[in-house]
Amino acid sequence: DVVMTQTPVSLSLAIGQPASISCKSSQSLVHSDGKTYLSWILQRPGQSPKRLIYLVSKLDSGVPDRFSGSGSETEFTLKISRVEAEDLGVYYCWQATHFPYTFGAGTKLELK
Amino acid sequence: VQLVESGGGLVQPGKSLKLSCSASGFTFSSYGMHWIRQAPGKGLDWVAYISSSSGTVYADAVKGRFTISRDNAKNTLYLQLNSLKSEDTAIYYCARRALSYWGQGVMVTVSS
């Protein structure tokens, strides 16, 4: 199975600070169709998860452009240019290139 | 798009339960669907996937015990949970292909 390793485990940031979350996969996430099926998911406290980014860097509709995704092969990064209060929660990376699909363990973003 | 899970509850170890996910707002038959679970206080855990043509894939932890299925006439996704174990206790979410939309989740508690 593909292991997704997220760092850090938690982040404590003030409003307006930048954030960066790393996700590393145990094997390349480039599919045989040439696409890289890496997504970022946010779960706010008490809510269902919500997808923010898919195919490494494509923002879902309604997601603020302070969020960005980058990376390739086995190393991926989620960045928030300036953290806002609504950004707190747990962020997960998820790979859908290889079965069984797998999530990272999550990164908890807390506000300082 | 709306996904509404039902069928959860308290069940004894070794028993069975069937979850449903009612879909609306999109052409259900055209999309693959997932079940994902989250144990209390833990991260997201991918469970199973069914394609639009009803091909299925499972996580190793549930293979042989859980069955994902769909009824396109009823716009409904199912998860049959057999031989339940305490470690299956979790909130179960259904989600549309690529996790673009999620339901609110349904709680399954396995305990004697």
- Percentages helix, strand, coil for chain A (3-state, rounded to 5) are 5, 50, 45
Nearest-CB residue to B43 (from A48, A100, A105): A105
For chains A and B, what is the number of CB pairs under 8 angstroms?
A: 53
| Mean pLDDT value across residues A17-36 | 98
Q: Which of A79, A77, A78, A72 lies closest to A36, judged by CA?
A: A72
Residues of chain B positioned with their CB less than 8 A from the CB of A90: 43
Band of pLDDT at residue B66, cut at 50, 70 and 90: very high
- A82-105 residue pLDDT tens: 999 999 999 999 999 999 999 999
Cross-chain residue pair A54–B59, CB shorter than 8 Å: no
Tell whether A63 is within 8 A of chain B (Cβ). Answer: no
Band of pLDDT at residue B11, cut at 50, 70 and 90: very high
Band of pLDDT at residue A112, cut at 50, 70 and 90: confident
| Mean pLDDT value across residues B17-40 | 98
Are B8 and B90 contacting, i.e. CB atoms less than 8 angstroms apart?
A: no
Residues of chain B positioned with their CB less than 8 A from the CB of A39: 98-99
Q: What is the mean pLDDT of chain A?
A: 97
Q: Which helix (H) or strand (E) holds A52?
A: strand A50-54
| Mean pLDDT value across residues A61-76 | 97
Is the pLDDT at A45 greater than 90, yes or no?
yes
Please, which residues bridge with residue A41 across strands? A51, A92
| Mean pLDDT value across residues A56-81 | 98
Q: What is the mean pLDDT of chain B?
A: 97
Tell whether A93 is within 8 A of chain B (Cβ). Answer: no
Name A88's Cβ contacts closer than 8 Å, sequence gap at least 6.
Answer: A44, A45, A109, A110, A111
Band of pLDDT at residue A40, cut at 50, 70 and 90: very high
Nearest-CB residue to B43 (from A54, A92, A101): A92
| Mean pLDDT value across residues A11-36 | 97
Band of pLDDT at residue A35, cut at 50, 70 and 90: very high
Band of pLDDT at residue B88, cut at 50, 70 and 90: very high
Provide the shortest C-alpha distance from residue B88 to chain A (in Å): 17
Residues of chain B positioned with their CB less than 8 A from the CB of A99: 49, 57
Cross-chain residue pair B43–A103, CB shorter than 8 Å: yes
Is the pLDDT at B58 greater than 90, yes or no?
yes
Cross-chain residue pair A50–B58, CB shorter than 8 Å: no
